[in-house]
Amino acid sequence: MRPLPAVANAALLTALAIMIAACQSPAPAAGPNRAALPTMERVALGANACWFKSGDPAFAAYKLAPELNSFSGRPRILLVHKGSPESRPLLVVQAEGSPARLQAFGPMMSEPVAGRIATDVNRWSGGNRACN
């Protein structure tokens, strides 16, 4: 087998370098981690601060029950009646995957507060900590 001429060697090395570079992952975009767990951690912190610690009357009858350590891959937060935390949740907000796909469901999503819940959850999931 004859060795390749220098020009062919250089072209081969350049093509190989381009193929290797194309296989590498791009640098992560700046901003919050978009995986399910970090997203739901942000949502839980926002809900706790803005709905409960602030004394918001729309959420006064409820208690936050975070379930972030999920073996199903769907970390979630629940809102339950304050006096009976073992009862069926009135709101479930959960995320799955990376980037996270959020879902909010339960009886509270049929109430007038549903629009606010969706707006707040979307804001917090994106990294904005504001309450309004």
CB 43 within 8 A of CB 104: no
Q: How far apart are CA 76 and CA 110, in angstroms?
A: 19
What pLDDT shows up at residue 70?
Answer: 76
Q: What is the pTM of this model?
A: 0.75
In terms of Cα–Cα distance, which of 119, 60, 55, 128 is closest to 93?
119
First-to-last CA distance in the chain?
73
Q: What is the pLDDT of residue 71?
A: 81
Q: Write down the pLDDT at residue 106.
A: 98
Region of residue 57 (phi > 0: left; psi between -120 and 50: alpha; otherwise: beta)? alpha
What pLDDT shows up at residue 80?
97
Q: What is the pLDDT of residue 86?
A: 87
**Mean pLDDT in consecutive groups of 10 residues from the start of the chain, 132 residues:** 52 41 43 92 98 96 93 93 92 96 98 97 96 88
Note the pLDDT of residue 72.
Answer: 84
